[in-house]
Every structure is written in structure tokens, then in C-alpha cells.
Amino acid sequence: METVEIKKWIRDIPDFPEKGVIFRDITPLLKNPEVFKYSLNKIVELIKDWDFDCIVSPESRGFIFATPLAYIMDKEFVPIRKPGKLPYKTYSISYELEYGQTSLEMHADAIEKGEKVIVVDDVLATGGTTKAIKELIERAGGETVGVVCLAELTYLNPRENLKDLEIASLIRY
Ligand SMILES: O=P(O)(O)OC[C@H]1O[C@H](OP(=O)(O)OP(=O)(O)O)[C@H](O)[C@@H]1O
Ligand SMILES: Nc1ncnc2[nH]cnc12
């Protein structure tokens, strides 16, 4: 397939979900199978040399990219969920988003000690979600190698929050 200008398939919605935020809406990209597949293959290329066993990702938009990547790359998948959704013992963490505050949970036995893990998400904004997930991975005894995303919002300085991680993004704003 020819090079795709991925930004053309992401719709900017000003003032959503609150004033001052430009929401990067990935639903047009997801509606086009060729562009979605192209994006996934490009993300695989970005991280093909990373040494890891397991992909960890937050619901809900993170799952859209993380599960096909786990399938394509033959890696484990661990879901990070909003509170009260996981049925077994969990580790839990609260943190700030670009628009508000939230919490996430991970099963306490999801990651083995010393396991090498990466975080996959659609958008890297403040980096708060990835930082929180890194903390959950560390509580379980795992090692976070890096984070890969479709879109990085550089104007929110996510790398400031994630200084000791490999960071890869397919497109940047
Ligand atoms: O870098 P950050 O500032 O932490 O922001 C990025 C996170 O925000 C969005 O998720 P959101 O919490 O809106 O949930 P959703 O995927 O269910 O829409 C996005 O999917 C990332 O997970
Ligand atoms: N501006 C934004 N657009 C889409 N997803 C986001 N997650 C956090 N900030 C976001």
C-alpha cells in the first residue's frame, strides 16, 4: 500500500470534552480498513527491535491498537481497566488526565517478576496514563521497556513524565 497521510484520517474536535482541549478523534481512521491496517503495520515497524514479552494497554481506545499488535507480534496482552471491572485481586492507581481525574486497575497476577512490558495506547497526551500504568507494572515486579502510540501530543510534553522510557509515536502534533 502507498504511504498514507495518517493525520488526514484523524478528526480534530475543538473544545471536547471541555473548553480548550482539541480532541483527536480516531474514528475516521478506524472506519477505513486499509488505513487502520497501514497504521498497525507502521506501529509494528517502529517497535520491531524492542525486547519485550507483554503488551499492557488501558481501556478503551488503547485496546483498539493493543490487541491486534499482540496478535501480529505474538505477545501477551494485559488489559488495564477502569475501576470495578476486573474480577480478581487488583492493583489500583489514580492520576490526572488532560481533562480531569481518573483511576485504573490491573490484575495483581497479570505480570511476572522481571517480565519486560510495553504500553500501547492510541494517544499520548500528558503521559499521565502511561506513567500510572508504569507504576502498576512496577508494583507487580515487571519492567516497563517503553510506550508506543499512534499520536503524540507534543504540546502537552508527555516525555517530561516518561523520562526513563523508550517512546515511539507514528504521528506527532
Ligand atoms: O497521556 P494522557 O494525558 O494520560 O492521555 C492519554 C489517554 O487518554 C485517553 O483515554 P481516556 O482516559 O480518555 O479513555 P478512553 O480510551 O476510554 O476514551 C487515551 O486513549 C489515552 O489512554
Ligand atoms: N486531546 C486528546 N484527544 C484524544 N484523546 C486524548 N486523550 C487525552 N487527550 C486527548
The domain locations on the chain are 50-172
129 alpha carbon – ligand 1 mean position (Å): 7
Judge if the upstream peptide bond of residue 92 is cis by omega within 30 degrees of 0: no
Instruction: Please give the pLDDT value at position 1.
Output: 62
Strands 54-58 and 116-124: parallel
Ligand closest in space to the Cα of 122 = 1
CB 118 within 8 A of CB 98: no
21 Cβ inside 6 Å of ligand 2: yes
- ipTM of predicted assembly, 2 dp: 0.99
> Model confidence over 56-89: pLDDT tens digits?
999 999 999 999 999 999 999 999 999 999 999 9
> Model confidence over 15-53: pLDDT tens digits?
999 999 999 999 999 999 999 999 999 999 999 999 999
Strands 90-97 and 100-107: antiparallel
Architecture of domain 50-172: 3-Layer(aba) Sandwich (3.40)
Total residue count of the chain as it appears in this document: 173
Which one-letter DSSP state was computed for residue 172?
E
Q: How far apart are CA 103 and CA 112, in angstroms?
A: 22
pTM strictly above 0.95: yes
Phi and psi angles of residue 158, each rounded to the nearest 5 degrees, phi first: -60, -30
Q: Where are the alpha helices (DSSP H) in the chain?
A: 27-30, 33-47, 61-73, 128-139, 158-161
Helix (H, G, I), strand (E, B) or coil at 163: coil
10 Cβ inside 6 Å of ligand 2: no
Average pLDDT, the chain: 97
Report whether pLDDT(3) > 90: no
